[in-house]
Structure 1
Amino acid sequence: MPITKDSFGKTTEGEEVTRYTFQNKNNVIVRVLDYGGIITDIIVPDRKGNKEDVSLGFDDMEGYAASGYIGALIGRVANRIAGGQFSLEGTSYSLVVNDGPNSLHGGKRGFGKRFWEAKVDGNRLSLKYVSPDGEENYPGEVTLKVTYELTDENELIIDYTATSTKATPVNFSSHGYFNLGGHGSGKIHDHVVQINAESFLPVDDCAIPTGEIRRVEGTEWDLRSPVRLGNRLGGVPGGKGFDHNFNLSMSGERRLAARVEHPPSGRWMECYTTEPGVQFYTSFYLQDLAGKGGANYSQYGGFCLEAQHYPDSINQMGQHYPTPSFPNCVLRPGETYRQTTSYTFGVSN
């Protein structure tokens, strides 16, 4: 079915926000804004055919303006940069510190708080944002194009391409929050998760990777076989559930990163990506947030699977550990960054 569009209100600066609606032959519905590339809705059936919105979000722009990153595209660098500092090609850069001592998700106003140039091409929505040289104190003008597509196989495909005029760190992701019982159905303890990762990144008290690449075997991070979250969250050291990068293949080939099931409804979701990592976050810091439809979002009220490069890669790539180093996150002139990540939805009996 053709993509339709309508108004989603205005920003506090008075700018008109447009919402784009996808609907496939199975009547699965996805909605995306040209502000921040925000995914506002993902409506899918359960085993009885009852439809629920499984994407956390807000009813209006006031909610998104006041929230952090729910549903938004993240850039120029997703996740954390230690101390808000990095050096590249002999120059040191200082970033806005907005997460304890660190810079998080692009700084004071990342890509999720920007307007994107939108274009509908058949069943695809293309968004384009040009980040000026020096924006948030990152070097180089970066042009990022992100395309959304909803297939008749209930697959939401997000495709990224980017170029830069100067060498600069990049790490783009989509920060969707999911609850397969329905966005306002409460805690995710009854979800069953499987992540196809042999290793993960331990972090320090500020959530910065220590540099170690640790095998999941014998740890609470071993999710290679399906695990009910309610049986695992309380045992994760630190007492805050999961907020860790799980290391996938560095081949650049698209493959299954994770699968999450919700046995009570029968809904499941699979995440495929070309990225070397996926940040699994179980929303420990989600606290009494007023969501859409009168829902209240609280701790462990959703989960995120953010396909990405490793956190703090710009400060850790190329260093020599007993195990392989972090992958490269620097985009240089003449190169093209590419990523494809998808979320597929289905129902089991």
Structure 2
Amino acid sequence: MTATAPVCFGVLPDGRAVTAHTLGTPGGPVLRVLDLGATIQALYLPDNTGGTGGTVDVALGHPDATACTTPPEAYLGAVVGRYANRIAGARFPLDGVTVELAANEGGATLHGGPDGFHRRTWRVLDAGPDRLALELVSPHGDQGFPGRLTVRATYTVTGHTVALDLAARTDAPTVVGPASHLYLNLAGEGSGTIEDHRLTVAADSYLPVSPDSLPLGGLAEVAGTPFDLTAPARLGDRVRDPHRQITAAGGIDHSFHLRGAGVRTAAVLEHPGSGRAVELVTDQPALQVYTGNALDGTLTGPGGRPYSRWAGIALEPQHHPDSPNRPELTDPVLRPGQTWRSRTEWRFRC
């Protein structure tokens, strides 16, 4: 695979055409990004197993444009927002006023609401062989969120690294926290589960959640629990652990409080069978680890295979869930004159 000119990925039921851009060069990561949702639809790595010299797609993705907006929504590879993760009660206080949002998961708002950023067509600002910049303007009141928010997503491929830079500005106080919802399976999309992968997360605490995946209280220590990922752990052992937080979620769907600040390593995902690995680097305070617990075979990938439970893992750098109601966790408020920024790097080893 190599970078190509933009191509049509299909047409949505509402008549919108979806365009795909391919970035990268042979020998390194090559990714296909859609203007719909600023979505990574495919991510190819060199395949050195068996001496084939080919490539393997390690990102879960939809096979065509129509599938991108057909329920059930799994947010495969999209930039989700305005606010990634859940906001309890579909409301939050801001400067003495209660902001009411559109609910789309019970009584909560998930990943920005029913018409979040993953369903929007982003405008292409700049496109090249190894760089793609997109922009989305979210109007005041969009899904209930205040302020006209302008968001930019810039993908770059350098060597063996894929980077995503997000930036946002507002004309009124609001909360913001978009994130990439990229699912990875380093054995190849559609190649079974991620149970044989090993995961390390640079976090000494995590956020226990209620049955509706909202924070129960404060952070808890990972020590002595299956959430202790401070050393490489086989995911199959952890997602099948009898710990009540694991069984209630059907796997891992929890936010980890990352050590330190600034750009640093958040996690390392390894697949011993192929020798592939990825180091996730970010400047965000938390990492949502989601092992694809709700995937049930309904969705089918580009290779024609259904995505069943644990078919991929999403490592999502972001704020903690429900921080608009829980500022002691992380502060997501953005005000006019400020710029919110996020950087994520996937550093691959093949």
Query: So what's the TM-score if we normalise by structure 1?
Result: 0.94
Q: Which moved more, 1:184-193 or 1:204-213?
A: 204-213
**Residue aligning to 2:35:** 34
Does the 8 Å contact 1:7/1:18 carry over to 2?
yes
Deviation at 1:96, TM superposition (A): 1.7
**Residue aligning to 1:320:** none
Decide whether aligned partners of structure 1 residues 25 and 184 sit closer, same or farther in structure 2, where only a CA change above 3 A counts: closer
C-alpha RMSD of the superposition: 1.4
**Residue aligning to 2:14:** 13
CA distance in 1, matches of 2:144, 2:67: 27
Amino acid at match of 2:204: E
Does the 8 Å contact 2:63/2:300 carry over to 1?
no
Of 297, 301, 315 in structure 2, the residue corresponding to residue 305 of structure 1 is 315
Is the aligned partner of 1:78 residue 2:84?
A: yes
**Residue aligning to 1:264:** 273
Runs in 1 of length 4+ with deviation above 3 angstroms? none
Deviation at 1:120, TM superposition (A): 2.5
Deviation at 1:237, TM superposition (A): 2.3
**Residue aligning to 2:174:** 168
Give CA deviations for 1:245-279 in whole Å, capped at 9, x if unaligned: 0111462x111100011111111111100000010
**Residue aligning to 2:294:** 285
**Residue aligning to 2:158:** 151
CA distance in 1, matches of 2:174, 2:28: 41
Alignment of 1:89-108 (within 5 A): 89-108=95-114
Q: Percent identity?
A: 41
Does the 8 Å contact 2:29/2:162 carry over to 1?
no
**Residue aligning to 1:63:** 67
SS at match of 2:217: coil
SS at match of 2:296: coil
CA distance in 2, matches of 1:79, 1:335: 22
**Residue aligning to 2:132:** 125
Amino acid at match of 1:338: R
CA distance in 2, matches of 1:29, 1:285: 28
SS at match of 1:293: coil
CA distance in 2, matches of 1:207, 1:231: 21
Amino acid at match of 1:63: A
Deviation at 1:50, TM superposition (A): 4.3
**Residue aligning to 2:228:** 222
CA distance in 1, matches of 2:232, 2:274: 17
Amino acid at match of 1:284: N
CA distance in 2, matches of 1:121, 1:98: 33
Give CA deviations for 1:66-117 in whole Å, capped at 9, x if unaligned: 1521111111011000111111111112212211221100001000100111
Is the aligned partner of 1:346 residue 2:349?
A: yes
Q: Which moved more, 1:82-91 or 1:236-245?
A: 236-245
SS at match of 1:62: helix
SS at match of 1:232: helix
CA distance in 2, matches of 1:19, 1:150: 16
Does the 8 Å contact 1:4/1:22 carry over to 2?
no
SS at match of 2:338: coil
Does the 8 Å contact 2:81/2:117 carry over to 1?
yes
Tell me the number of residue pairs that the alignment of Structure 1 and Structure 2 aligns: 338
CA distance in 1, matches of 2:17, 2:84: 26
Of 331, 335, 340 in structure 2, the residue corresponding to residue 337 of structure 1 is 340
CA distance in 2, matches of 1:15, 1:172: 23
Does the 8 Å contact 2:265/2:281 carry over to 1?
yes
Give CA deviations for 1:163-200 in whole Å, capped at 9, x if unaligned: 11111111110111111111000111100110011111
SS at match of 1:231: helix
**Residue aligning to 2:46:** 45
Amino acid at match of 2:320: Y
Does the 8 Å contact 1:46/1:266 carry over to 2?
no
Give CA deviations for 1:225-251 in whole Å, capped at 9, x if unaligned: 000111221114241110000111462
Query: So what's the TM-score if we normalise by structure 2?
Result: 0.93
CA distance in 1, matches of 2:156, 2:335: 28
Give CA deviations for 1:29-70 in whole Å, capped at 9, x if unaligned: 100011110111001124434421111112211111115211
Amino acid at match of 2:101: L
Deviation at 1:3, TM superposition (A): 5.6
SS at match of 2:325: helix
